[in-house]
Amino acid sequence: MSAPVLRDPARSVVSVLVPAYNEGATVARVFERLAAVPLTLEVIAVDDGSSDDTGRLLDALAAQGKVHRVIHHPVNRGKGAAIRSAIAAATGDVMVVQDADLEYDPADLPLLFAPIADGRADAVYGSRFLGGPHRVLFFWHSVGNRFLTLLSNMLTDLNLTDMETCYKMVRSDLMRRLVLTTDRFGFEPELTAQLARARARIYELPISYAGRTYAEGKKINWRDGVAALWHIVRFNLFPPHR
């Protein structure tokens, strides 16, 4: 796949898609960090049916001008569904998902933007396994992530090191052409399969990562890992069509 350089990288807008479910403890700090990013950002947050004060905090941040748009899901529909709602509302030249839990640092966004800005890439993955600084946590999580990445690579013929990373920055014109259907954490293998099918030029760069413990609010569990196996097979061998 080939695509032109962004029409004017210096004036390009990066749409930051922020799905949030019961992240009242961290969501304000995420937007403080986003405000310090030296890029022109359009920030779109989705309150995915939170039962805590996440929705109220997002509305307050929007009133302060720190969020450009807040979308409220009446019930919890899942990360993939929240991201699709944000994609539909985004107007920027490039899109990237930002989790609301402080595991990923917005200071890395300019690094991810550079290969797209200069025309080398259509999508850029921020890898937690390429040597960037990271909090030391769960051994079996890292093993599981690497196994899922290996299986995905076998079916997409890509050589990624971190398919499950949240930080996937994609040109908006390409993102809107992809067929994305999953509601929960299957978004990561689905997007990867769709990008591979579109023959997108993908770069991978090291990022910092400060993973959470379950006591700190981490939500993904072993059931999501098992589901990811099915999602990888499903989206690569039986892809959805428009």
**Once rounded to an integer, what is the mean pLDDT over residues 33-41?**
96
CA angle 63, 76, 105 (to 5 degrees): 60
Please tell me which residue, 26 or 7, carries the higher pLDDT value: 26
Residue 12 near residue 94, CB atoms below 8 Å: yes
pLDDT in tens, 177-193: 999 999 987 999 999 99
Residue 180, φ and ψ in degrees, nearest 5: -115, 130
Q: Tell me, what's the pLDDT at 214?
A: 44
Q: Which residue has the tokens 């040109």?
A: 171
Percent of the chain with pLDDT over 70: 88
Q: Does residue 200 surpass a pLDDT of 70?
A: yes
pLDDT in tens, 79-120: 999 999 999 999 999 999 999 988 899 999 999 999 999 999
Q: Tell me, what's the pLDDT at 223?
A: 74
Q: Which fold has domain 11-237?
A: Spore Coat Polysaccharide Biosynthesis Protein SpsA; Chain A (3.90.550)
Q: Does residue 53 surpass a pLDDT of 80?
A: yes
CB atoms within 10 A of CB 238: 7
Q: Tell me, what's the pLDDT at 212?
A: 47
pLDDT in tens, 136-170: 455 667 787 889 999 999 999 999 999 999 999 99
CA dist., res. 219 & res. 78, Å (int): 11
Confidence of residue 216 (pLDDT cuts 50, 70, 90): very low
pTM: 0.90
Q: Does residue 210 surpass a pLDDT of 50?
A: yes
Mean pLDDT of the chain: 90
